[in-house]
Amino acid sequence: SKEIECPLNKSELGNHTWGFLHTMAAYFPEQPCMEDQRDMAQFLRLFSRFYPCPTCARDFSKLIDKEPPRTGSQNELKHWLCWAHNQVNKKLGKPKFDCSKLDERWKFGWKDGSCDIEKALCFV
C-alpha cells in the first residue's frame, strides 16, 4: 500500500532544502562569471526572505547580513554554505559537519563505494 503524502514539517523541509542547496553549490561553475556570482548571492538572499519557516528565515537572513555568501567560485560557495549549515547545526545542537567531506556527501559518493553512484547527477 502507498504511504499517504502529507505537508512537510520543519525538519523535512529543512532536510530537503539543504539537499537542494548543497547539490546546487556542488554544480555551481568553478569559475563563475560576474553575473553568476551576483545572481547566486542575490538568490540566497531572496531564498532566505521567502523560506517558509519564519524563525529559520529570520535567523538565516541575519546570518547572511553578517557574513555575505561567497560566490567567487564553486569552492567558495560550497564552503560558505557548509559553514552556514554548521551555524544552524550549532544552534540546534546537531553535530558539526566536516566540510572536507562535502564532495563525497553531495557529489561523488563516499570513497568506500557505499553509494549507488551511477544514479548520481554527476553521471548524467
Q: Which residues bind ligand FAD (CB under 6 A)?
A: 10-11, 14-15, 17-18, 22, 51, 55-56, 59-60, 82, 85-86, 88-89, 92, 94, 97, 102, 105
Q: Are 31 and 72 in contact (CB under 8 A)?
A: no
Instruction: Decide whether 10 or 33 has the Cβ nearer to ligand FAD.
Output: 10
* Residue 72 Cβ vs ligand FAD, minimum distance, rounded to whole Å: 19
Cα distances from 110 to residues 47, 81, 102, 106, in angstroms, run 29, 20, 10, 9
* DSSP secondary structure code for residue 74 in this structure: H
* Residue 4 Cβ vs ligand FAD, minimum distance, rounded to whole Å: 21
